[in-house]
Amino acid sequence: MAIDKTLYDRLGGKKTFIHVHKIFYDKVYAHPWLKKYFSDKPQEILENQQSDFMMQLMGGPKTYSGKTPKFAHQHMVITDELFELRSQLLSESIKKAGINDNLREEWLAADRALKQALVKTSEDKCVRAYPNQLILNFTK
């Protein structure tokens, strides 16, 4: 393994990210708890946005033009438990895509680095992007 290769390159490039995120969002949209957070979003759009974001994060092309994770999720109550559930589904998806355990752990470490920007334990820690935006809280 060449040490100068990015994680993006070592994972196999764009096709890997697209494949993993298809598997992952199939799981998310089928999950009785997680799917509630995405009911108003087309799955394919989220797959593409997540792929673009993670490719850029892992040294790939800079094609992501969306909001930062903190601002994209600022109106969602995301508990530690919910974040861990999401991480488990991501881990399963990476494994199902045939990625070896070392690379899977590197991917998950990059993903876990976003936890602080996402986790909010109550509605009072959420922020509306516009006055009538709903606070999404499916933890009750």
Q: In the prediction, which pLDDT does 140 show?
A: 62
The candidate with the shortest Cα–Cα distance to 93, out of 38, 32, 18, is: 18
Rounded-to-10 torsion of CA 14, 17, 18, 24: 180
Q: Where are the domains of the chain?
A: 9-125
| Residues 6+ away with beta carbon under 8 Å from 89 | 24, 27, 28, 31, 34
User: Percentage of residues in the chain with pLDDT exceeding 70?
Assistant: 97
Q: In the prediction, which pLDDT does 110 show?
A: 97
pLDDT tens, 51-103? 999 999 999 999 999 999 999 999 999 999 999 999 999 999 999 999 999 99
pTM of the model: 0.93
pLDDT tens, 94-133? 999 999 999 999 999 999 999 999 999 899 999 999 999 9
Q: What is the mean pLDDT of residues 29-46?
A: 94
The domain defined by 9-125 folds into Globin-like (1.10.490)
Can you tell me the distance from the alpha carbon of 61 to that of 109, in angstroms, rounded to the nearest whole number?
A: 20
Q: If pLDDT is split at 50, 70 and 90, which confidence band does 139 have? A: confident
| Residues 6+ away with beta carbon under 8 Å from 117 | 68, 69, 70, 73
User: Percentage of residues in the chain with pLDDT exceeding 90?
Assistant: 94
Q: What is the mean pLDDT of residues 11-38?
A: 97
